[in-house]
């Protein structure tokens, strides 16, 4: 809690300065934003534009309260409050959908970003555990890209924090067809994964496979008689 700051605090001001100095947009996931009370913070994804302005922010909705194989227990809700707002933002690189880490396991969030908020690029800054990352990281990212027909950009924290905790890593970029188009040399690497985002490919994939026209809703379904 001592590290949590408001979005206009010194840490975010420094990132805003870096974005402006570099003329780059920054997507910062896992920012410890000051929460609703002294016992809770928000796990916030902050988007800064190339002028150094905080363009938008998203507070993680799904909290990681999980028993991971290997006797590892996580209870994010002990110190984090859940967000309640879905966020998509226009940018020079397309319409961006903001999520964080464990959100990745909830496809309905990504469906809403695609079909209600017209997202073209999904941002997923994450810190998967080594165990969950080895089992599910790439599979889940590719699934979200395929089912939404969006680019997925997933920057991943990597390496050991202490004897009990290790983040999986493997920063990766995936195209709307589900193909990995960039990643770091190995999962523990630090550096930059670079790819061109061709928004015409988003439209081409959606035209060839028009799932938006074929969707059915639960309100249209008939329950099976018991």
Task: Report domain extents, the chain.
Answer: 10-213
At residue 69, the pLDDT reads 82
pTM value is 0.95
Asked whether the beta carbons of 121 and 89 are under 8 A apart, the reply is: no
Cα(55)–Cα(25) distance, integer angstroms: 9
Give the pLDDT mean for 177-186.
Answer: 97
CATH architecture of residue range(s) 10-213: 4-Layer Sandwich (3.60)
Cα(42)–Cα(60) distance, integer angstroms: 7
Cα(39)–Cα(34) distance, integer angstroms: 10
* pLDDT tens per residue across span 96-144: 999 999 999 999 999 999 999 999 999 999 999 999 999 999 999 999 9
């Amino acid at each position: 809690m001592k590290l949590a700051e408001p979005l206009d605090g010194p840490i975010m001001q420094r990132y805003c300065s870096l974005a402006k100095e570099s003329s780059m947009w920054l997507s910062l996931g896992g920012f410890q934003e000051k929460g609703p009370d002294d016992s809770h913070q928000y796990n916030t994804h902050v988007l800064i534009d190339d002028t150094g302005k905080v363009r938008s922010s998203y507070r993680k909705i799904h909290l990681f309260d999980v028993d991971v194989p290997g006797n590892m227990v996580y209870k994010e809700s002990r110190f984090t409050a859940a967000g309640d707002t879905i966020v998509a933002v226009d940018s020079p690189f397309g319409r961006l959908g903001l999520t964080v880490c464990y959100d990745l396991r909830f496809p309905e969030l990504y469906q809403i970003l695609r079909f209600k908020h017209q997202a073209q690029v999904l941002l997923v800054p994450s810190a998967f555990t080594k165990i969950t990352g080895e089992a599910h990281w790439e599979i889940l990212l590719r699934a979200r890209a395929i089912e939404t027909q969006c680019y997925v950009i997933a920057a991943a924290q990597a390496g050991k924090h202490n004897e009990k905790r290790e983040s999986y890593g493997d920063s990766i970029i995936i195209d709307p067809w589900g193909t990995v188009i960039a990643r770091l040399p190995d999962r523990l690497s630090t550096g930059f994964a670079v790819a061109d985002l061709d928004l015409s490919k988003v439209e081409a994939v959606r035209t060839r496979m028009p799932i938006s026209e074929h969707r059915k809703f639960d309100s249209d379904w008939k329950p099976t008689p018991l």
